[in-house]
């Protein structure tokens, strides 16, 4: 009995050693991936949280200030302005950038022919670098020689200072963002629509269902997980909007300053206060994490 036990004990480490040897290459690849992820994702995240409790302006060594950065944020009137503008942008972007691509995807999906060409046409703006898209729209919005004002002037209609007008500035930014990103959402919607069995639509047509009824009773229930996933992605992306307001309206326009623009302003234009910028980033992270938690709860309940 003792011999059998010793034999099993001897065989155990050998088996473990053999298993590790057989999978050594996989473990090395996994270790490299985890190391890269830790270096470029976890470390900056932890460093940012620590920095939010420090004073750091690149002039003197950083030192601990506790919650002073967060108190300074709530004392800054621009803090609430930036959050209000960000939520306004997110709401408008969801109306245009979330609902409109869904309608476009349904229309494209109804085509029997040339569906591939429409997909390419819709996705083309996504292939442009974001800064190129913004510069293109900057030309469209130019109050002096821009395309929009030239057309309005030719029609003897009142022109507008699109990106500086309090009434039109936010809508102008949303249009740029929607045009630039609509293609990606449309393709994801089309991918979801392609998984719906055609028999469901055929049965609905036999029952005399209209287009709206087919969308309501067939498409929407079958697409609920795709819709929820894209809703979360849209919220996360739009709440981090930066290029459009930064390039089109700058960092001083209070009508369009967003959370990300204010973070940039704290870090690079107002005394290089990286601690204050990090504190703002942490608050944004908490808000986005809360949205993600709600999404996970909704999908779990849907299951």
Q: Is residue 21 part of a domain?
A: yes
DSSP secondary structure, 120-170, as one string = HHHHHHHHS-HHHHHHHHHHHH-TTT-HHHHHHHHTT-----TTT-TTTHH
| Res. 89: pLDDT tops 90 | yes
Q: Is residue 180 part of a domain?
A: yes
DSSP secondary structure, 74-100, as one string = HH-HHHHHHHHHHHHHHHHHHIIIIIH
Q: Give me the pLDDT at residue 11, please.
A: 54
Q: What is the pLDDT of residues 214-256, one digit of tens each?
A: 888 888 888 888 888 888 888 988 999 998 898 888 877 888 8
Residues 124 and 229 in one domain: yes
Determine the average pLDDT of the residues in 7-14.
53
Using the structure block, give the residue that is written with the tokens 């990106």: 163
Q: What is the pLDDT of residues 47-70, one digit of tens each?
A: 888 988 988 877 778 888 889 899
Give the CA count within 13 Å in the CB-facing half-sphere of 217. Answer: 14
Q: Give me the pLDDT at residue 156, please.
A: 84
Q: Give me the pLDDT at residue 3, please.
A: 47
Residues 121 and 266 in one domain: yes
Residues 27 and 110 in one domain: no
Residues 160 and 28 in one domain: no
CB neighbour class for 44 (10 Å; exposed up to 12, middle 13-18, buried from 19) = exposed
Using the structure block, give the residue that is written with the tokens 């967003």: 258
Both tokens assigned to 97: 């950038």
Domain holding 265: CATH number? 1.10.3720.10
Residues 101 and 234 in one domain: yes
Residues 200 and 74 in one domain: yes
Whole-angstrom distance, CA of residue 54 vs CA of residue 276: 8
- Residue-number span of the structural domain to which 15 is assigned: 2-40
Determine the average pLDDT of the residues in 19-27.
68
Whole-angstrom distance, CA of residue 51 vs CA of residue 243: 24
Number of domain units in the chain: 2
CA torsion angle 180 185 191 193 (round to 10): -130
Residues 131 and 35 in one domain: no
Q: What is the pLDDT of residues 107-135, one digit of tens each?
A: 888 777 777 788 888 888 888 888 888 88
Q: Is residue 52 part of a domain?
A: no
Q: Is residue 59 part of a domain?
A: no
| Res. 86: pLDDT tops 90 | yes
DSSP state of 271: T
Residues 149 and 248 in one domain: yes
Both tokens assigned to 219: 């498409």
Whole-angstrom distance, CA of residue 108 vs CA of residue 99: 14
């Amino acid at each position: 009995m003792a011999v059998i036990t010793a034999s099993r004990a001897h065989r155990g480490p050998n088996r473990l050693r053999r298993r590790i040897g057989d999978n050594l290459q996989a473990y090395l690849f996994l270790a490299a991936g985890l190391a890269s992820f830790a270096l470029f994702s976890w470390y900056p995240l932890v460093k940012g949280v620590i920095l939010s409790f420090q004073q750091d302006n690149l002039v003197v060594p950083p030192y601990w200030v506790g919650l002073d950065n967060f108190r300074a944020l709530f004392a800054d009137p621009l803090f609430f302005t930036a959050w209000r503008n960000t939520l306004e942008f997110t709401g408008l972007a969801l109306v245009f950038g979330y609902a409109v691509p869904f309608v476009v995807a349904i229309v494209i999906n109804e085509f029997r022919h040339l569906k591939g060409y429409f997909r390419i046409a819709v996705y083309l703006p996504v292939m442009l670098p974001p800064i190129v898209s913004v510069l293109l729209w900057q030309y469209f919005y130019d109050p002096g020689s821009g395309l929009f004002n030239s057309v309005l002037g030719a029609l003897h209609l009142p022109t507008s200072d699109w990106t500086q007008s309090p009434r039109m500035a936010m809508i102008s930014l949303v249009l740029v963002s929607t045009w630039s990103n609509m293609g990606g959402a449309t393709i994801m919607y089309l991918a979801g629509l392609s998984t719906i069995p055609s028999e469901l639509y055929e049965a609905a047509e036999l029952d005399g269902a209209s287009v709206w009824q087919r969308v309501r009773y067939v498409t929407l229930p079958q697409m609920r997980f795709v819709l929820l996933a894209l809703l979360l992605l849209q919220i996360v992306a739009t709440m981090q909007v930066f290029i459009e307001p930064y390039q089109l309206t700058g960092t001083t326009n209070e009508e369009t300053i967003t959370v990300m623009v204010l973070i940039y302003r704290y870090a690079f234009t107002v005394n290089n206060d990286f601690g204050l910028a990090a504190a703002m980033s942490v608050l944004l992270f908490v808000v986005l994490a809360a949205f993600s938690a709600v999404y996970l709860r909704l999908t779990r309940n849907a299951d």
